[in-house]
Structure 1
Amino acid sequence: MYSTYEGSHLLSRSSSGEGCRETHWLVLLDGTSTNEAGWCDTKAIILCFNLFSSVFSVCCRHTFWQYRKENPKSHVGDPPPDGLPGFNSGVMLLNLEAMRRSTLYNQLLDPGRIAQLAEKYHFRGHLGDQDFFTMIGMEHRELFYPLSCGWNRQLCTWWREHGYGDVFQLYYHCDGPVHIYHGNCNTPIPDD
């Protein structure tokens, strides 16, 4: 059985239990996500990731259409396992300690650097953190440890009916156990 959460949810670990500066990592779940595995299993995967983690999404293929047209040999927006499909931030594991220590990550927070990347990729996003992580992930994949699709099993099929039916399954297919369902696009969460 799973629990349904309302709003964005947060699980964090800190050394002292007080203050953001003492928090070492965060688990962020979109309000449309459910945890099938339980928090103990979720904590086990946290020990294995680098800077931050998330899972790919087909919408990035659409977002990068102009860059892909101008750079047909690029893997930007291509499906896994060899492409750079971008990220979906419905489930994120953030290693705040590593993020604070990373010179590269902190340089990427500079608005001028973000503007350069947005110009390079002709990027006009509308999904906040998901857009930020996707855009910097095109240049610096080493900052991410992509979780398997079962840790953010996206249920939305909107893109299949809106121009990407021919490639949709390349992004949507997910083998293995489901730990967290993500009912994005108002998609119902399965009962089983």
Structure 2
Amino acid sequence: QIWAVPGPVTACFYRREQALVIVHDVNELTEKLFPIVEAMQKHFSAGSGTYYSDSIFFLSVAMHRIMPKEITRIIQVDLDLKYKTNIRDLFDEFDNFPEGAVIGIAREMQPVYRHTFWQYRRENPQTKVGEPPPDGLPGFNSGVLLLNLEAMRQSKLYNQLLEPTMVQKLTEKYHFKGHLGDQDFFTMVGMEHPELFHVLDCTWNRQLCTWWRDHGYSDVFDQYFQCEGEVKIYHGNCNTAIPED
């Protein structure tokens, strides 16, 4: 079981049983990733040179392809988090994965995908795509990820979805053009194959960004943003201040 933290220069992997920290060069990881995720970048980034355009922002998508086989589970987290509980407790969520699930991830808490899927939603007015919880499909936020690498390696369906032809097929079906890297890929795949995902409670990734409330979605924003329960991890996404203790 590994805790992975991708950063701008290095990626650190923490093996909790051995209290061992291994630092990996991001350039080397990017070189391994590029052939796998090259086809995705044009669909899930805003263009060359933009923040999410680098291959490293697709690390989670193909982690099972580049990590040693003896590593079977990884938790990957963003850096803009504040932990209110022991991170070890999050590992217990692996035990809650339903059969066939390969990734644990929380829902997106802004109507960003209500916006991104606008054309598909217009053509399919009864769809749950982009709708808020609990009955809708608001998409995912990749700030906290549980990657069952062994399940990812064994899943024929998941690996088929990494193929460029499948990525192209789904982006065309959903008229999808995103800009958030791996999060966009997981969101799009989740619309088609929700069985691949174990949905984490919002308290494990309590996002704080309110950008979309002030940019055209104030009428529905609270339906996405609400989160009941004791927060375990705060996520200060889009440079939002995290509450002090």
Common fold: TM-score over 0.5 = yes
**Cα deviation, residue 45, structure 1:** 2.0
| 8 Å CA contact 1:10, 1:27 repeated in 2 | no
| 8 Å CA contact 1:13, 1:26 repeated in 2 | no
Separation in structure 2 between the aligned mates of residue 9 and residue 56 of structure 1, nearest angstrom = 25
Match of 1:51 among 64, 81, 102: 102
Specify the alignment match of 1:21 in structure 2.
Answer: 69
- Aligned partner letter, 2:144: V
Q: Map 1:43-192 to 2 at 5 A.
A: 43-49=91-97, 50-57=101-108, 58-192=111-245
Separation in structure 2 between the aligned mates of residue 95 and residue 116 of structure 1, nearest angstrom = 25
**Cα deviation, residue 47, structure 1:** 2.2
Q: Which runs of 4+ in 1 moved over 3 A?
A: 5-14
| CA deviation string 1:141-174 (max 9, x = no partner) | 0001110100000000001000111111111000
Aligned residue pair count: 186
- Aligned partner letter, 1:31: L
| 8 Å CA contact 1:30, 1:90 repeated in 2 | yes
Distance 1:10 1:183, change over 3 A: farther
Specify the alignment match of 1:34 in structure 2.
Answer: 82
Separation in structure 2 between the aligned mates of residue 45 and residue 166 of structure 1, nearest angstrom = 33
Calculate the TM-score normalised by the size of structure 2. 0.71
| 8 Å CA contact 1:6, 1:32 repeated in 2 | no
- Aligned partner letter, 2:103: F
Specify the alignment match of 2:63 in structure 1.
Answer: none
- Aligned partner letter, 2:134: P
Distance 1:188 1:51, change over 3 A: same
Gaps in structure 2 of 5+ consecutive residues: 23-66
- Aligned partner letter, 2:207: Q
| CA deviation string 1:33-78 (max 9, x = no partner) | 1221112212222322231011222211111011101110010000
| 8 Å CA contact 2:94, 2:104 repeated in 1 | no
Separation in structure 2 between the aligned mates of residue 138 and residue 160 of structure 1, nearest angstrom = 23
SS at 1:146 equivalent: strand
- Aligned partner letter, 1:56: R
RMSD: 2.1
- Aligned partner letter, 1:32: D
Separation in structure 1 between the aligned mates of residue 155 and residue 15 of structure 2, nearest angstrom = 20
Q: Which moved more, 1:103-112 or 1:48-57?
A: 48-57
Distance 1:25 1:182, change over 3 A: same
| 8 Å CA contact 2:6, 2:77 repeated in 1 | no
Question: Identity of counterpart residues, as a percentage?
Answer: 56
- Aligned partner letter, 1:165: S
